[in-house]
Amino acid sequence: MEIRPLEPGELDATRDLRTRAFGPCSQEEWERALRFNRAAVEAGRQFAVFDGGRVVASGRLHDMTQWWHGRAVPMAGVSAVAVAPEERGRGLGRMLMAHLLERCAAFGHPLSMLYPATTRLYRSLGWEHAGAQHEIDIPAEALRGIAAERVPVRRAGTADAAEVAAVIRRVHEGAGDCGPIGWADANWRVLLADENDFSYLADDGFLTFRWADGNAALEVARLVAASERTLRALWAIVGSGSSTAPTVHACVGPMDAALWLPAEREVDHVRRVQWMLRVVDAPAAIEARGYPAGVGVEVPLLIDDPQRPSNSGHWLLSVADGRGRLERSAPHPDAVRLGPRGLAALYAGVPVATLRRSGLLQGGDAGALTAPFAATPFSLDHF
C-alpha cells in the first residue's frame, strides 16, 4: 500500500470511497465539493492510500486558523477521513491518521482540529474533546424588531471574500473568542457563491442564513458582529422572516451576545456537535495562543507524547502579560504530568479539576493552570 497526496486531477478517484463511507452525493454537490477543496488539493493536502490502483482510504488537511483568546493560531482541519468498508478494522484508519499527524507538523500547524464520527481512533493519537458547535432554536418573532436603529448592510458575494474574512477576524480578535475557525479567501469565494445562502456585510458584522426544514424555518450559519447596533440589525433581518419562518436555527457560541437580546428566553434547545483538538507542536501552540491580561503563572510540566516525541520531556510553562511560553527545563520533582490528550484539553480551557478527575492530568500543583487557559470554546463551522 502507498500513501501520498493526490494530484489535482485525481480527486474523482476518491468519489467511490466517499460514497461508501458517507453516502451518495449528487453531481452538483460533488462539483461544489471539488471547488471548495481545490485549494487543499493543489497544496498537496488531500491524501489517499492506494492498494494497486484502488483508493482504499483518504483524508484531507485544510489550511485554517483557529482563534484562541482572540489570537489566530495556524491549524490543520482534518476532514473526510474514510477507509473502504472491506478494509476496515485492520489498522488502516490509524495508519492514515498517524500519517496525517506527521503532515500537520510538516505543514507547520501547531494545532489540529476535527469533528469525530468515532472517538477512539483519534484519542489513540492524541486528539481530545475540546469544544462544540452549538445550534440553538430561537423563535423568529423574538428577533423581529430588535434593531434599535438602521445600520447600513449590503448583500455579500464572491468579490467580498477578503472583506468577509477580515470582518470575521476583527470580530473574533476583539471578543477574545476561543474556538472559531478562519477559512482562506479561496474557501470564502466558494461559500459566498452559493445562491441558497443569503449573505450580508456590515462595517463590523457579517450574516449568512438560508432556508431550512422544507422552507418552514431559517438557519443562521454565521452571524457575528462587533457592536450591539450591528448585532441587533443583523438578527432583525433574520427575524423579519417570522411570518413565513416561525423558527430560527442558529449556530452560535454558548456565550453569544445574541442569546441575551430576545426579551423572552426560558428554555434553550441546544444541539451540540463535539470537536476534538490536537496540540501538534507544544511550544509553538503555547506561544501562538492568547491569554487573559493580568494572569501570570509559572508551572513545571512533564509531557509524554509518544506520537510527537518533540513535545515530550520537562518544560516550564509561563504565562504573563497575555503571552505564553513553553521552554525546556531541568526535571522538576513536582511537575504536572500530561499526555497529548490532557495538553489538548488544558489548551481548550477544560478546568484542571476536570482534567485530574478524568485522568488526563496528574501530579504537581496544577490549580494555577485553570485561569490562563479558561475558555468556553465553540465553532461556527462544520467541515
Which residues bind to ligand COA, rule: CB under 6 A? 21, 81-83, 88-94, 116-118, 120-121, 124
How far apart are CB 93 and ligand COA at their closest, in Å? 2
Select the residue whose beta carbon is closest to ligand COA and give its number.
93
Cell of residue 139, nine digits: 423563535
Mapped to the 3 state alphabet, what secondary structure does 4-19 carry? EECCHHHHHHHHHHHH
What interhelical angle do 185-192 and 161-175 show, nearest 10?
Answer: 110
| HEC sequence for 130-148 | EEEEEEEEEEHHHHCCCCC
C-alpha cell at 311: 513535545
Sign of the dihedral through C-alpha 326, 330, 334, 338 = positive
Residue closer to ligand COA by CB (options 242, 307) is 307
- Residue nearer to ligand COA on the CB measure, 64 or 369: 64
Q: Of the two residues 44 and 116, which places its CB atom closer to ligand COA in the complex?
A: 116
Cβ–Cβ under 8 Å, residues 298 and 316: yes
CA 41 to chain centre: 20
Q: Kindly state the smallest distance separating residue 19's Cβ from ligand COA, in Å.
A: 11
Minimum Å distance from CB 363 to ligand COA?
Answer: 26
CB of 98 to ligand COA, least distance (A): 9
Question: Cell triple for residue 4?
Answer: 501520498
Q: Which is nearer to ligand COA, 104 or 369 (CB)?
A: 104
Distance CA 347, CA 351 (A): 10
Query: Closer CB to ligand COA, residue 92 or residue 245?
Result: 92
- In whole angstroms, the minimum distance from the beta carbon of 22 to ligand COA comes to 6
Q: Evaluate whether 83 touches 21 at the Cβ level (below 8 Å).
A: yes
**Which residues on adjacent β-strands are paired with residue 271?**
135
Residue 16 Cβ vs ligand COA, minimum distance, rounded to whole Å: 13
Query: For residue 249, which of 203, 257, 258 has the smallest C-alpha distance?
Result: 258
**Choice between 48 and 234, CB closer to ligand COA:** 48
